Amino acid sequence: MLNRLRRIGVLTTVCLAFVAGPAGAIETAITHPPAQPYSQPQPQLASTLAAQAPDLNPQVLQTAVSAMQCALNSGAEPASRLAVIDFSLPSTEQRLWIFDLHSQSLVLQDLVAHGQGSGDNFARQFSNVEGSHQSSIGLFRTQESYMGKHGYSLRMDGLEPGINDLARQRAIVIHPADYVDPSWIERHGRIGRSHGCPAVRPEVASMVVDSLKGGQFMFSYYPDDHWLATSSFINCPSEDGGNMVASTH
């Protein structure tokens, strides 16, 4: 697990039709300062963040914080930001949250797309398979920003074997998309869908990428029974030999 958590690879593919970049695109430098360990214990941190995000299910947030803490306990470097996506919510709702872990504040709550293969307004199916056009759930580590066909985008690595660890190979990235727009909801009853990428509104894309680039954590949630029962980050061994398992809805 430690090698996977510390890995920073170089992506040689593109995010299908959505983020294909021009030849010779130059990567954007990462500017986040070195992150420091968090001062609050895990339950207090989750409680503090929950107060900043009343629309986010506190049990989902607790699960995200627990998964992040498990990664840190396994040797991952501390991060400055945590993004949470709750795919149990419809695409018509703002289901992306970004938190600053040091000021323990909410940076952004906004819309985010899921993959065409995952469902219509609701995402119900998730995959780690290239070509599935489905979103992936679980814990991710964001990596390098770059300029692609659709603008300023962000690559990331999935940390959960068999669940999302092919994210880089599948080119699952954060990128702007015109179809992530409230006007789509009026016309189609949902926002547009990606090929599996968590696409965001163009108006906030640069801020999202800059907030998350350079080794931040992203946690995508869905109440999938198999994942909840088997994820090594959710079912993390505690120091006393038990498991730190967060309640989920």
CATH of the domain at 141: 2.40.440.10
Indicate whether 59 belongs to any domain.
yes
**Residue 45: CB partners within 8 Å, gap ≥ 6?**
38, 65, 101, 104
From 21-30, 32-41, 62-71, 79-88, the region with the lowest mean pLDDT: 21-30
pLDDT category, 33, cuts 50, 70, 90? very low
- Nearest Cα residue to 136 out of 157, 121, 153, 154: 157
Least confident of 5-19, 112-126, 166-180: 5-19
Tokens, residue 235: 């079912």
How many beta carbons lie within 10 A of that of residue 64, not counting itself? 29
pLDDT digits (tens, 9 = 90+) for 129-165: 999 999 999 999 999 999 988 899 999 999 999 999 9
Number of domains in the chain: 1
Is 152 part of any domain? yes
In a domain, 81, yes or no: yes
Under 8 Å between Cβ of 163 and 175: no
Residue 221 lies in a domain: yes
Residue 41 DSSP symbol: -
- For the record, the structure tokens of 231 come out as 């994820």
Radius of gyration of the chain (CA): 17
Let me know if residue 21 belongs to a domain: no
Threshold 0.85, pTM exceeds: no
Angle made by CA atoms 17, 23, 26, in degrees to the nearest 5: 105
User: Residue 18: inside a domain, yes or no?
Assistant: no
- Answer yes or no: is 23 within a domain: no
Neighbour-count burial for 94-114, b at 16+ CB within 10 Å, e otherwise: ebbbbbbbeebebbbbbbbbb
| pLDDT tens, position by position, 182-239 | 999 999 999 999 999 999 999 999 999 999 999 999 999 999 999 999 999 999 986 5
For residue 144, give its domain range.
Answer: 39-244
In a domain? residue 153: yes
pLDDT tens column, 114-125: 999 999 999 999
